[in-house]
A and B are shown apart, each in its own frame.
Chain A
């Protein structure tokens, strides 16, 4: 790794897989249009990226000591960030309701507290599970839904 990437900053802005994808798209656009005539990085960020993504990118570049005016250096930095994004672990969680930002933050914070590695959340919604979550990660699967708990209780109650 040529440039150090601050995961603390990333944790602030990249919580879900969709966040990472959106950021990747912005970075990819910057990479492709970096050497276009009469085009600046600020202008592209202003036109293509959200305020949060622009902030994230600028903070990452700042901590990595990347000169945004040096397009060659910037190109290397962009490729490195993009590669890093593709290597981030993704935890798929199926929940019963559409989660609000507070809930996503709470879940993401739980991973930050328990694991040093930055984790991206892939949230899926299935109201039939009632509550709890179904967890899929790296080939593993676990059903911690309320539906399953109730079924087990019902089965025990019937027996």
Chain B
């Protein structure tokens, strides 16, 4: 049994191995076949490439020839053209410069014209504004002058009235002062005259009074002194 089991197992293993080998062989075959196919395909492709390359090379060579010729031709033309261009470039630049100068002149002229117009306009505006301002100032000045004249007139009238009043007061005071002065002077003169008269009277009295009168006056004085108890003897 055991043996049969073993045999069975070996067979199975062999079978499986054979199956695997078979599968492996098939796989390798397929791989190789594919490789071969690929190789073949690659070869064909390579050939195609080569043909194409050859064709391309040929075309390129042809093109190169054509190109070389063309290049030579172009170079020749270019040299010729360059010579012409140097000559023409001056003309062109000159022409361009002239054109630019012309345009610049035109632009300048236009600008100048516009500037002059603007300046003239500005000048006119200023003149107009100045005239307006002058007129306004004149009007305003005239108004101020009129107001000032009016004010001065009013103040003059008031001042005149004030001066009149003050003058009148001053005149009254002066008259009063003059009257007072006259009165004082008159009184002073009266007093002076009176004193002069009194002095003269006293001098005359003293010089003309007889000794007897003097003696009588002295005795009278002594009587008064006695009455006044001045002599406490």
**Residues of A at under 8 Å CB distance from B?**
89, 91, 93, 95-97, 99-100, 102-103, 106-107, 110-111, 114-117, 119, 127, 130-133, 135, 137-138, 140, 142, 144-147, 150, 154, 158
Contact = CB atoms under 8 A, between A and B. Distances in A.
A110 B211 contact: no
A103 B215 contact: yes
Nearest to A118: B233
B219 A115 contact: no
29 contacts: A89-B233, A93-B218, A95-B214, A97-B206, A100-B211, A102-B215, A103-B211, A106-B215, A107-B215, A114-B226, A114-B231, A115-B233, A130-B202, A131-B205, A131-B213, A131-B217, A132-B217, A132-B220, A135-B225, A137-B225, A138-B232, A140-B232, A142-B224, A142-B225, A142-B228, A144-B220, A144-B221, A144-B225, A150-B198
B194 interface: yes
A76 B136 CA distance: 132
Top 3 A-B pairs ranked by shortest CB distance?
A: A144-B221, A133-B221, A140-B230
B233 A133 contact: no
A131 B231 CA distance: 21
Q: Interface SS of chain B: helix, strand, loop or mixed?
A: helix
Contacts of B233: 89, 115-117, 119
Nearest to A106: B215
Contacts of B226: 114
A103 B212 CA distance: 8
A41 B202 CA distance: 52
Contacts of A95: 214, 218
Place the interface of chain B in its size category.
20 to 34
Q: Interface SS of chain A: helix, strand, loop or mixed?
A: mixed
A107 B222 contact: yes
A144 B214 contact: no
Interface of B: 194, 198, 201-202, 205-206, 209, 211, 213-215, 217-222, 224-226, 228, 230-233
Contacts of A89: 233
Contacts of B225: 135, 137, 142, 144
B96 to A, nearest CB: 132
B222 A110 contact: yes
A103 B205 contact: no
Given A137-B231, A138-B232, A146-B205, A131 B214 contact: yes
Contacts of B218: 93, 95, 103, 107, 132-133
A140 B206 CA distance: 26
A90 B224 CA distance: 18
Contact of A144 (B209, B215, B224): B224
Nearest to A114: B226
B225 to A, nearest CB: 5
B105 to A, nearest CB: 121
Contacts of A158: 194
Nearest to B191: A158
B89 to A, nearest CB: 140
Given A137-B232, A142-B225, 7 more contacts: A96-B214, A114-B231, A131-B206, A132-B217, A132-B218, A133-B218, A142-B230
A38 B211 CA distance: 50
Contact of B231 (A91, A130, A133): A91
A158 B187 CA distance: 11
